[in-house]
């Protein structure tokens, strides 16, 4: 392949989008569908880009497409350029009205069903021209989307490794103990970590940050984890109600998951143990000021969910 001097204006944003789409799908046909163009158009533009750069980005035959070693660097740079372009467009839009258009927000599964029913109506009432495109994803996937620019913000629990992101607190979410109603711990007004020693504790599967946080408490309590790895809090609750063990729930989930009153829910004694729910975004994002305002509206709306927690816990401890 002949190498020649290349100027930045020789490349197009569409070519970079095609390259990233092929790298993501490992198929020219699927990439063309994703980009809304014909496969010949996509193939032709990618070939032109390869000729301009003097680099073979993809190795392909009739059965598969692979990204070459040199192509990995091209794809990585293309992703960064597309994020920067997206930020440029967003900055221009924000200059007119930061709360107009679509905002892509990722939400972790242990927050989405419990806070979104409160925060989305409040956001719609405050900014009727803003459309939230919500994506439910585990923490690692959500953070990857933020850093790649496919998400504008993420509603998640505060964890280690967020130092490169801006964030604003939305709500404090204490953990509570959930046990079968016939369990001896159900007679207590509050459950201490010592009470959980040797108790079989059910937790979520790997990938949920809530698992890591709850597991840390279980280790301190010398509780023993069961073999079950649940995919959702709903599964945990059903298994606990059947007598399979006990679990720790985030308080915001109590009103939904224990709506039939099948569990005895007790606060943890001593210093509060829990998580901080926050809104996070890239430091370079032009919407930083608007997202901080959005977090304030979320925080105000979330107070309704925390009021439900207190009512549930108060009635359960009587």
3-class DSSP state of 95: helix
Q: Coil, strand or helix: which one is 134?
A: strand
Tokens matching residue 119? 């925060």
Which residues, other chains included, contact 87 with Cβ-Cβ below 8 Å and sequence gap of 6+?
Answer: 149, 284, 285, 286
CATH of the domain at 105: 3.40.190.290
CA 102 to each of CA 121, 183, 268: distance values in angstroms, whole numbers, following the listed order: 16, 48, 40
Tokens of 174: 């204490």
pLDDT in tens, 82-141: 888 888 877 776 666 778 888 999 999 999 999 999 999 999 999 998 999 999 999 999
User: Are both 152 and 51 inside the same structural domain?
Assistant: no
Domains in the chain, number = 2
Same domain membership, residue 114 and residue 51: no
Residue 96 lies in a domain: no
**CB-based contact 54:4 (threshold 8 Å):** yes
Q: Does 2 reside within a domain?
A: no
* Measured CA angle at 294 (ends 293, 300), to 5 deg: 95
79 and 180 fall within a common domain: no
Tell me the C-alpha distance between 139 and 107, whole Å: 8
- Name the residue with tokens 């933020």: 146
Q: Between helices 28-35 and 13-25, what is the axis angle to 10°?
A: 130
What is the share, in percent, of the chain residues with pLDDT greater than 70? 87
pLDDT for 2 equals 47
Whether residue 274 lies inside any domain: the answer is yes
| Domain annotation covers residue 115 | yes
Tell me if 3 is assigned to some domain.
Answer: no
Reported as type and span, the H/E element at residue 104 is strand 101-107
Two structure tokens written together for 45: 């533009």
Contacts of 241 (CB under 8 A, 6+ apart): 180, 262, 263
Rounded CA separation 161/167 (Å): 12
Residues counted in the chain: 318
User: Which of 91, 109, 135 marks a domain boundary?
Assistant: 91
Domain that includes residue 43, residue range: 8-91
Other CB atoms closer than 10 Å to residue 8's CB: what's the count? Answer: 6
Q: Cα–chain-centroid distance for residue 192? A: 31
- 162 token code pair: 């967020």
Answer for the pair 105, 154: CB distance below 8 angstroms, yes or no: yes
> 187: Cβ–Cβ under 8 A, 6 or more apart, which residues?
none
Q: Do residue 261 and residue 123 come from a single domain?
A: yes
Residues 160 and 265 grouped into a single domain: yes
- How far apart CA 239 and CA 180 sit, in angstroms, is 9
- What pLDDT score was predicted for residue 133? 95
How far apart (Å, rounded) are the C-alpha atoms in residues 71 and 46? 12
Claim to verify: residue 45 and residue 169 sit in the same structural domain = no
Same domain, 218 and 138: yes
| The pLDDT of residue 8 | 56
Q: Would you give per-residue pLDDT tens digits along the chain (318 residues)?
A: 444 555 555 788 899 999 999 999 998 988 999 999 998 999 999 999 888 888 899 888 777 888 888 889 999 999 998 888 888 877 776 666 778 888 999 999 999 999 999 999 999 999 998 999 999 999 999 999 999 889 999 999 988 888 999 999 999 999 899 999 999 999 999 988 888 888 888 887 766 777 767 767 666 666 666 777 777 889 889 988 888 888 888 999 998 999 888 899 999 887 778 889 999 999 988 888 889 999 999 999 998 777 655 544 544 443
């Amino acid at each position: 392949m002949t190498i020649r001097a290349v100027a930045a204006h020789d490349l197009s944003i569409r070519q970079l989008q095609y390259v990233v789409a092929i790298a993501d799908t490992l198929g020219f046909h699927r990439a063309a569908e994703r980009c809304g163009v014909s496969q010949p158009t996509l193939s032709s533009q990618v070939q032109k880009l390869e000729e301009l750069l003097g680099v073979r980005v993809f190795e392909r035959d009739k059965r598969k497409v692979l990204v070459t070693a040199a192509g990995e660097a091209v794809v990585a740079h293309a992703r960064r350029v597309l994020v920067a372009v997206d930020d440029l467009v967003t900055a221009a839009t924000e200059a007119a009205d930061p709360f107009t258009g679509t905002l892509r927000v990722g939400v972790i599964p242990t927050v989405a069903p419990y806070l979104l029913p409160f925060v989305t109506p409040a956001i719609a009432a405050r900014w009727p021209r803003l459309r939230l495109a919500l994506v439910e994803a585990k923490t690692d996937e959500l953070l990857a989307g933020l850093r790649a620019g496919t998400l504008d913000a993420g509603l998640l629990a505060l964890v280690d490794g967020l130092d490169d992101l801006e964030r604003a607190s939305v709500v404090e979410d204490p953990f509570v103990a959930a046990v079968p109603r016939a369990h001896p711990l159900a007679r207590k007004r509050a459950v201490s970590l010592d009470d959980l020693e040797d108790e079989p504790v059910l937790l979520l599967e790997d990938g949920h940050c809530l698992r890591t946080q709850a597991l840390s408490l279980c280790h301190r309590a010398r509780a023993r984890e069961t073999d079950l790895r649940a995919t959702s809090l709903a599964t945990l609750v059903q298994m606990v109600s059947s007598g399979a063990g006990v679990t720790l729930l985030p308080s915001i989930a109590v009103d939904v998951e224990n709506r039939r009153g099948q569990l005895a829910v007790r606060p943890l004694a001593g210093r509060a143990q829990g998580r901080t729910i926050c809104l996070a975004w890239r430091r370079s994002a032009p919407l930083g000021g608007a997202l901080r305002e959005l977090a304030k509206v979320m925080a105000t709306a979330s107070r309704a969910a925390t009021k439900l927690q207190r009512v549930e816990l108060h009635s359960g401890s009587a």
